[in-house]
Amino acid sequence: MPDSLHIFFISPFFPLKGGIARFSTSLRNALLRRGPSVDAYSFIRLYPRLFTGMKSPFEPGADRQQDPDILALIDLLNPLTWIGTAFRIRRSRSGVVVGAYWTGLLAPLYIVVRKFSGRPFVLLMHNYSSHEPWLNASWLRRMMIRSADGVVTLSRHVAGQVAGAHPDKKVIALFHPVYESAEALCSPDQARRRIGLGGGGPVLLFFGYVRRYKGLDILFEAIPDLLLRHPGLQLVVAGQFYESLQRYRDLAIRLGIDRNVNFFPGFASRQETALYFSAADAVVLPYRMASQSGVVQEAYGFQRPVVVTAAGGLGEAVEHGRTGWIVDRPGSAALAEGILDFLDTADREKVTSSIASYCREHSWDRLASAVDGFLQEEILA
C-alpha cells in the first residue's frame, strides 16, 4: 500500500456551475483534508453552447479565475486535449486517475485517458446511463467500464447496474454527502416576503434543472388535488429550464393553478438558493428516473425534508417518515397522496432532528475516507 496516495481527478470544478462541479469540488477539498494529494483537471468546454441554450457555464456571481491548483485542460470537443491530458498524467508522479462520469459524451475521453496515461483508472459514476436517451451509446460505455480498474458509485442502484453488466469489475456503492450551506437560513416568513410569496399556506419547492425526466409536469398535475385540502398552497419552481418555460406556464393555466405556481427561471445564486429553501416546507422531487440527486442533499443542508418518487436510487437517501416521504407508485395521484401525508402528519421537530442525524452520518469527510480506502486497498494494493 502506498504511503501517500496521489489522485488525478478529472471533472468539472467550481467556478463551473452545476451539481457535478459542486460535488467534485467538495470531494476534492475533503480528500485534501484527509491526506491524499490531488491534481484536479477541469474542462475548458463541456458542451457546445447550443446544447446549453447559449447560457454561461459559470456560477452566477463567481470569480471566473480558476483556483490555481485546478487546471482547466480538457475540451470535450477536441480529442487533442484528451491525449495531452493523458500524457501530462503519464509524465507526472505515480497515482490513480479518478474520472467523474454522468453522461455518455464522456466515454471516449476516459477510454483515451486510460489507454495513454499508463495509470490505474477509476470511474466515479454518478449515473450509469444518461438521463437523455440520445446520449446513451451503450457500446462505448461498455468499453469505458471494461477499461477501468474500478468503479465508485453514489447509490446501490447504480452499483447494481454496473455489477449486473460487468460482474468481474471492482465496484463500491457509497453515498452522496450532505451539502452544508454557507448561506444563513432566515425564517420562512422572511424568505417568503423576500421572494414575493403571499398567503399563509404551505410552500413546496421544485429546485434545479428542468428536464423532462424530472417530472415537473407530474407535480403540476398533482397540485389541484393538494389545493382541495390546502387552498393557500404555493409551489416555487426555481431552476434553469432545458424545456420550454412557456409550456409550463401554459400547463399551469390549463390546470387552473397559475396563481399557486411561482416561477424563478435561471440558475440560482447561492444567496437565492438559500431564500428558496428557507421559504419551503418541503422540497419535492417528482422524478421519472434518477440515480441519486444532489437536490436531496441540498435540502437536508437547509434542514428541509423531501418528498421523492421511488425512481432509481432516489429513495436510498430518504428515511421514510423521518427525513422525508417516498412515493412508491407512479403518477400525479400517488404524488398528491404522498405530499398530503407529509403536510398533514409530519412532526416537524422530529423531522428536523432526523435530518440532523442523517447529516452527521453522511459527511464529505466520511465519503473521502471511503474513496481513499477503496483506491488504496482495492486498486493500488
Q: What is the pLDDT of residue 137?
A: 74
How many whole angstroms separate alpha carbon 79 and alpha carbon 85? 10
Q: What is the pLDDT of residue 18?
A: 84
Buried b (16+ CB within 10 A) or exposed e, 275-308: bbbbbbbbbbbbbbebbbbbbbbbbbbbbbbbbb
The architecture (CATH level 2) of 6-177+363-379 comes to 3-Layer(aba) Sandwich (3.40)
Q: Count of CB atoms within 10 A of residue 168's CB?
A: 7
**Between the CA of residue 330 and those of 74, 99, 237, 287, 334, what are the distances in Å?**
40, 34, 21, 10, 6
- 345-374 average pLDDT score: 94
**Between the CA of residue 232 and those of 202, 223, 261, what are the distances in Å?**
7, 11, 11
Element of type H or E holding 28: helix 19-34
3-class DSSP assignment, residue 249? helix
Does the pLDDT at position 216 exceed 50?
yes
Q: Where residue 261 falls among pLDDT bands split at 50, 70, 90?
A: very high
Residues 366, 335 contacting (CB under 8 angstroms): no
Is the domain 188-361 a CATH 3.10.129.10 member? no
CA quadruple 120, 122, 128, 131: dihedral positive or negative? negative
Q: Where residue 2 falls among pLDDT bands split at 50, 70, 90?
A: very low
3-class DSSP assignment, residue 76? coil
DSSP state of 379: I
Max avg pLDDT among 33-47, 79-93, 122-136: 79-93
Least confident of 65-79, 200-214, 255-269, 295-309: 65-79
Percentage of the residues of the chain whose pLDDT score is greater than 90: 75
What residue ranges of the chain are covered by domains with CATH 3.40.50.2000?
A: 6-177+363-379, 188-361
On the CB side of 66, CA atoms within 13 Å amount to 18
| pTM for this predicted structure | 0.86
**Between the CA of residue 213 and those of 41, 351, 353, what are the distances in Å?**
30, 28, 31
The grid coordinates listed for 123 are: 470511474
On the CB side of 229, CA atoms within 13 Å amount to 13
Does the pLDDT at position 167 exceed 80?
yes
Q: What is the pLDDT of residue 161?
A: 95
List, as own/partner pairs, every contact residues 306-309 make where C-beta atoms lie below 8 angstroms and the sequence separation is at least 24, other chains included. Answer: 306/282, 307/204, 307/282, 307/283, 307/335, 307/338, 307/339, 307/342, 308/284, 309/215, 309/285, 309/335
Q: What are phi and psi of 72, to 5 degrees?
A: -85, 100
Q: What is the pLDDT of residue 378?
A: 94
- 214-227 average pLDDT score: 96
| Mean model confidence pLDDT for the chain | 90
Residues 284, 219 contacting (CB under 8 angstroms): yes
